[in-house]
Homo-oligomer: A and B are copies of this chain.
Amino acid sequence: MNVNEAIDLLKHNGYKATGKRKDILDYFSEQDGYRTAKDLITHLENDNETVSFDTIYRNLHLYKEMGILETTELNGEKHFRMNCAKHHHHHFICNECGRTKAIDVCPMADVKKSLANYAIEGHKFEIYGLCPNCQNN
């Protein structure tokens, strides 16, 4: 997913491509890991943009709903990143810098047989630690 794809997706679904929405997309497209709402706000403030919590959170949720961003929750705080899912996969997430590495293993096939009468609605598989880069600090 890149910025233009996301903007097309917005318009296609009847949403307006506003300045703030583009700013938010720009930010996430140039990051390559999970970032928080606070990270985004700090970035926008450094660019001397006005920032309303309402706008930030409303759009983050919208982007999540539309599959433009993917999210996870770390230390009680929601984290967001551009959706990189051409196909189903999971992530290693660096505890230091938030950068991710895709993991193609998915254990769900092995699991489903043991959950015969259960209605499965979702799953989460994440690995946490330090990426090669952050181990040298």
Contact = CB atoms under 8 A, between A and B. Distances in A.
Interface stretch (A8-16, A34-42, A50-58, A99-107): A99-107
A129 B118 contact: yes
A123 B103 CA distance: 12
Interface residues of A, number: 33
A3 B130 CA distance: 36
Interface in A79-132: 92, 95, 101, 103-108, 110-111, 114-115, 117-132
B130 A118 contact: yes
A22 interface: no
Copies of this chain per assembly: 2
A30 interface: no
A111 B118 contact: no
7 contacts: A73-B73, A103-B115, A105-B114, A106-B107, A119-B135, A120-B127, A120-B128
Interface of A: 73, 76, 78, 92, 95, 101, 103-108, 110-111, 114-115, 117-132, 135
